[in-house]
Amino acid sequence: MKLAAWQAPLLPRGSPVALDLARERIARCEAEGIDLLLCPEALLGGLADDADHPTDSAISVENGQLEKILAPLASDSVTTIIGFTEITPAGKLHNSAAILHRGAVLGVYRKRHPAIRRSVYSPGEEVPVFTIDGLTFGIMICNDTNHPELARALVARGARALFVPSNNALRPEKADVVSATHAVDLACAREHRVPVARADVAGRSADRVAYGTSIIVDAGGNILALASPGVEDMLVAAIDTGKGRRGA
């Protein structure tokens, strides 16, 4: 499988240009024969924890709103994983990632471990895996990767790749998490013998810095592609979707 991990620019909260930028990246993927585009956490609207009005950019899955919003990203050849803030009929917010496959939402993953002690997001409760074109994969969103039991559960359920939408836009004094994040991804790939890909944001805002931790690692823990620091980038690599044997 040919995979792209898009290190997107750090956009202002609620920016309407995210969809247009994603559409441009999908067009590039179509032209280059890339099968899957991994986008960052909360690309659509930004993180609700940082918003004055957290529900302003929230999207419902239940009433067809999500599919309507994602319609411009439909592609016959490129599957897209994209982060957004989900609102449930009960009014709960989830930090979620949607899988858009051939114009339809194949599924949604809800982040199980919101990253800060007090968050407007409710944690997800399920550990789903998804299958496209013969590849079964799992999604972990950013801080989820710091809880290794989740990766173990996904691999136990048949995941042969792990995809990590991230948004490491942090206060300047805490922003340099690049080395630590890469170490987590390398260790995860080596332990479970599956490829790991992470797509982060990069740039600066009035109060946040994102250096960009985007990376693609193969099942042996070797780096296939690494993003340029601090700037938008798109990593492309072919990953082996057959699960490696331990000890090989």
In a domain, 136, yes or no: yes
> CATH no. for residue 67?
3.60.110.10
Residue 50, pLDDT score: 86
pLDDT at 204 over 50: yes
Residue 235, pLDDT score: 98
How many structural domains is the chain composed of?
Answer: 1
Domain that holds residue 164: 2-238
In a domain, 113, yes or no: yes
In a domain, 223, yes or no: yes
In a domain, 244, yes or no: no
Mean pLDDT of 235-244: 82
Residue 206, pLDDT score: 82
Q: How confident is the model over 39-87, as pLDDT tens digits?
A: 999 999 999 998 889 999 999 999 999 999 999 999 999 999 999 999 9
Residue 245, pLDDT score: 40
Which of 28-32, 93-97, 111-115 has the weakest average pLDDT? 111-115
Phi, psi angle pair for 36, to nearest 5°: -140, 135
Residue 117, pLDDT score: 72
Mean pLDDT of 166-186: 96
Work out the pLDDT band at 14, boundaries 50, 70, 90: confident
Work out the pLDDT band at 200, boundaries 50, 70, 90: very high
Number of Cβ within a 10 Å radius of residue 173: 7
